């Protein structure tokens, strides 16, 4: 067992692990750029689903959609593998003396969660690639599982806790943008001058926008539990759709769309200059 872990450690801290991480970050950037474009189309009145699944569906409609989806599937798989390797081996959990054991465990759990999300994106991308586009365009799953849980005696408090947790997670993500914590993960010595000017702005705007959308989803989920109305629970696409329908919603949605595009651009630069093996 020890020898197997050592081999995985070598992979996680070697060229293979670094390549998987960088390819995955680039794929994440491409996805958020597409979601940002879809959000802009929502502002103009188009009927779009501005979330990850909607982005995949939009790519599938392009002339070279199959190629784009195949490349994204590889990128998402790389991101998932990178996160799982980090979680299993504890690769570069932090070498500072202030890094506690609890912080290391939390980091591993976050790596597992992120890896699982992108592993799910791999399967979703492959489903769309092989003709499952109708499923992607269906009703949002958030409403279905919320309805199922609210029908149980213990479901309402659980949905409320989940909603509050998602809300707090979104606010924490936005706070990372305000505090520019993302700069700690970048190899500042390799970042060119043009990127040094771009990254603080793109990173801050991107993280705040992404965190704001997540917080908005958490608010709708918690509100559904509080009012006992599953129809109020939505995912990213539903949250952006409702935002577009509110007073001044198109202005807010335009800002969110710009932020998601910024996060996509930031992800591309991060793919090149992130300390993939050391953060």
For the entire predicted model, the pTM comes to 0.79
Q: Phi, psi at residue 186, to the nearest 5°?
A: -95, 145
Are the C-beta atoms of residues 243 and 253 closer than 8 Å to each other? yes
Tokens of residue 193, six digits? 């001058």
pLDDT at residue 119 above 70?
A: yes
- What per-residue confidence (pLDDT) applies to 4? 59
Q: State the number of CA atoms in the 13 A half-sphere of 72 facing the CB.
A: 31
Q: Are 270 and 25 in contact (CB under 8 A)?
A: yes
The DSSP secondary-structure symbol of 274 reads B
* CB < 8 Å & 24+ apart, contacts of 235-240: 235/51, 235/140, 235/141, 235/142, 236/35, 236/50, 236/51, 236/52, 237/49, 237/50, 237/51, 237/53, 237/54, 237/140, 238/140, 238/142, 238/143, 239/213, 240/39, 240/42, 240/50, 240/51, 240/213
Give the dihedral sign, CA 191/193/194/199: positive
223, 210, 276, 279: which is closest to 15 by C-alpha?
Answer: 276
pLDDT the model gives residue 10: 58
Instruction: State residue 102's pLDDT score.
Output: 64
Q: What is the pLDDT of residue 95?
A: 45
69 phi/psi in degrees, rounded to 5: -65, -40
Could you report the per-residue pLDDT of 209-242, keeping only the tens digit for each?
A: 999 988 988 888 888 888 777 667 777 777 777 7
Which residues, 6 or more positions from 124, have their beta carbon under 8 angstroms from its beta carbon? 52, 53, 56, 136
Confidence at residue 76, expressed as pLDDT on a 0 to 100 scale: 94
- For 121-173, the pLDDT digits (tens) are 999 899 888 876 544 444 456 666 677 777 777 777 888 898 899 999 999 98
Which positions ≥6 away from 103 have C-beta within 8 Å?
93, 94
Average pLDDT over residues 51-71: 84
Nearest alpha carbon to residue 244 among 232, 233, 255: 255
Smallest CA-to-CA distance from 133 within 145, 124, 142, 141 is with: 124
d(CA 117, CA 83): 10
User: What is the chain's mean pLDDT, rounded?
Assistant: 80
pLDDT at 181: 83
Distances (CA, A) of 265 to 70, 143, 272: 21, 31, 11
Tell me the pLDDT tens digit for each residue of 12-53: 566 777 888 899 999 999 999 999 888 888 887 777 777 777
- pLDDT of 73 strictly over 90: yes
């Amino acid at each position: 067992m020890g020898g197997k872990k050592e081999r995985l450690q070598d992979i996680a801290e070697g060229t293979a692990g670094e390549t998987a991480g960088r390819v995955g970050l680039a794929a994440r950037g491409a996805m958020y750029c597409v979601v940002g474009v879809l959000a802009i189309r929502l502002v103009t009145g188009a009927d779009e689903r501005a979330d990850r699944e909607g982005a995949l569906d939009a790519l599938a409609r392009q002339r070279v959609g199959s190629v784009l989806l195949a490349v994204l599937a590889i990128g998402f798989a790389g991101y998932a593998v990178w996160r799982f390797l980090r979680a299993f081996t504890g690769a570069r959990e932090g070498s500072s003396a202030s890094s506690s054991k609890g912080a290391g465990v939390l980091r591993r759990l976050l790596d597992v969660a992120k890896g699982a999300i992108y592993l799910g994106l791999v399967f979703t991308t492959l489903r769309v690639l092989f003709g499952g586009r109708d499923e992607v365009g269906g009703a949002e799953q958030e409403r279905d599982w919320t309805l199922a849980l609210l029908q149980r005696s213990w479901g309402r408090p659980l949905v409320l806790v989940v909603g509050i947790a998602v809300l707090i997670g979104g606010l924490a993500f936005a706070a990372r943008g305000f505090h520019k914590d993302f700069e700690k993960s970048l190899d500042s010595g390799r970042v060119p001058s043009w990127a040094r000017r771009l990254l603080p702005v793109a990173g801050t705007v991107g993280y705040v926008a992404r965190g704001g959308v997540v917080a908005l989803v958490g608010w709708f989920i918690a509100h559904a539990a509080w009012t006992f109305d599953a129809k109020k629970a939505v995912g990213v696409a539903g949250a952006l759709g409702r935002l577009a329908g509110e007073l001044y919603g198109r202005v807010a949605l335009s800002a969110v769309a710009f932020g998601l595009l910024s996060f996509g651009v930031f992800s591309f630069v991060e793919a090149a200059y992130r300390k993939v093996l050391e953060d």
